[in-house]
Amino acid sequence: MHEKNRVKPERESEKKNAEQLKGEEKRRSDRLREDNEITITIVSGGENTPKEKILYNYTKDISVGGARIQANILLPVNAILKIDLALKNLRQNIIVFGKVKWNKIIIENETYEAGMEFVDTPDEAIKKLEDYISCKQKYTKLNPVGMPFWMFAKFNK
């Protein structure tokens, strides 16, 4: 009649999922989920990679430490990229350099994703990127009604 409260043992699959999440999350800064047009030039990265600019690419999310990008070719891991970022609502481009850390096929022969870490990027470019991300995150938190960003930025300098 009298039952003791028992702690349910954690399932093996739940343990693995928790361990995977801990092990995979290596980001040091928050990411801004935003599509931004980019132009990629592969600086170095092995054979069979085009040396010309690769157009029609964009970021899926971005931080001061790196970005997840969507591209029209499979970017090899450890490739060094020069990326010209055209950030939304910023009237200038930012040039960063990055190293591809991982890649994934989304649609064979059409769409690929890659995670890249910024390397050898000038401090001025990182500072502009940091200011942009901070401003956009502040805008998102303080603007629940959807005021246009340019108007928000003008009155919140």
Here the CATH number for the domain that contains residue 130 is 2.40.10.220
User: Does 15 reside within a domain?
Assistant: no
- Number of domains comprising the chain: 1
**For a pLDDT cut of 70, what percent of the chain falls above it?**
64
Q: In terms of pLDDT, which residue wins out, 157 or 72?
A: 72
pLDDT beyond 60 at 155 = yes
DSSP one-letter code for 49:
-
* 145 confidence band (pLDDT: 50, 70, 90): low
Q: Is the pLDDT of residue 15 over 50?
A: no
pLDDT higher than 60, residue 153: yes
pLDDT higher than 80, residue 47: no
Contact 36, 85 (CB under 8 A): yes
For the segment 38-63, the average pLDDT, to the nearest whole number, is: 78
Question: What is the average pLDDT score of the chain?
Answer: 76
- The domain in which residue 59 lies consists of 27-155
Q: How confident is the model at residue 36 (pLDDT cuts 50, 70, 90)?
A: confident
Establish if 18 belongs to a structural domain.
no
Side chain identity at residue 83, one-letter code: I
Q: Higher confidence at residue 148 or residue 85?
A: 85
Residue 143 covered by a domain: yes
User: Would you say residue 97 has pLDDT above 80?
Assistant: yes
Domain-located, residue 73: yes
All residues at 6 or more sequence positions from 153 whose CB lies less than 8 Å from its CB, including other chains: 89, 135, 139
Residue 48 lies in a domain: yes
Whole-number Cα distances in Å, 101 to 53, 105, 132, 142? 20, 14, 24, 34
Q: Tell how far CA 59 is from the center of its chain.
A: 6
* pTM for the whole structure: 0.68
